[in-house]
Amino acid sequence: MRAFYGAGGSGRRQVRHRRDTGSGIFAPDDQGRGTPARSCITPVDKVGAAAITTIEALERDPVGRQVQKAWFDLEVVQCGYCPSGQLMSAAALLASNPNPNDADIDAAMSGNICRCGTYPRIRAAIKQAARAIAKAREEG
């Protein structure tokens, strides 16, 4: 296990006990293809030996870096309550689906609640990140 949620990083949220928000999501990582999981309801012993990616490590991942950049470029964040979970879910989506359509995005992000209602910007940011990742891959 490379890291685990709550290891002293900045991604922790006070709301993590609420299983319905998606704000405390981490992505158990299997060869770079993580499946988002809610840290508030996933015991560490259920993760086993799988590596875990947290929000703190997202910038070291090429997909995660583009997702973070798109969030910043499009000024997605308003209050800062939901971004950790949103970013982790978006990165996991783009790691498994490099060109998601609106339905793919809505399905992948459906567990993440944004009380500020930034959903249109979240969708736009995911599409921007997808384009940037594709361009980077073309350029080698």
Using rule CB under 6 A, residue 115 touches ligand FES: yes
Burial (CB count within 10 angstroms: exposed 0-12, middle 13-18, buried 19+), residue 138: exposed
| Part in contact with ligand FES (CB under 6 A); list of ranges 37-45, 55-63, 76-84, 89-97 | 76-84
- 3-class SS at 14? helix
Tally of CB atoms within 10 A around 115? 11
Among 79, 99, 102, 137, binds ligand FES (CB under 6 A): 79
Question: What binding mask, one character per residue, do residues 85-114 give for ligand FES by CB under 6 A, x or -?
Answer: -----------------------------x
The footprint of ligand FES on residues 43-72 (CB under 6 A) is: none
Distance of CA 65 to the CA centre of its chain: 11
Structure-block tokens of residue 44? 């560490």
Residue 129 and residue 29: Cα distance in Å, rounded?
20
Number of residues that bind ligand FES (CB under 6 A): 9
Q: Which of 110, 137, 136 is nearest to 123 (CA)?
A: 110
Name the minimum Å distance from CB 100 to ligand FES: 20
Q: To the nearest whole angstrom, how small is the minimum distance from the Cβ of residue 68 to ligand FES?
A: 14
For ligand FES, the binding residue among 37, 82, 93, 109 (CB under 6 A) is: 82
Which residue, 67 or 82, is less far from ligand FES as judged by CB?
Answer: 82
The whole-angstrom separation of Cα 135 and Cα 140 is 9
Site residues (vs ligand FES, CB under 6 A): 77-79, 81-82, 114-116, 118
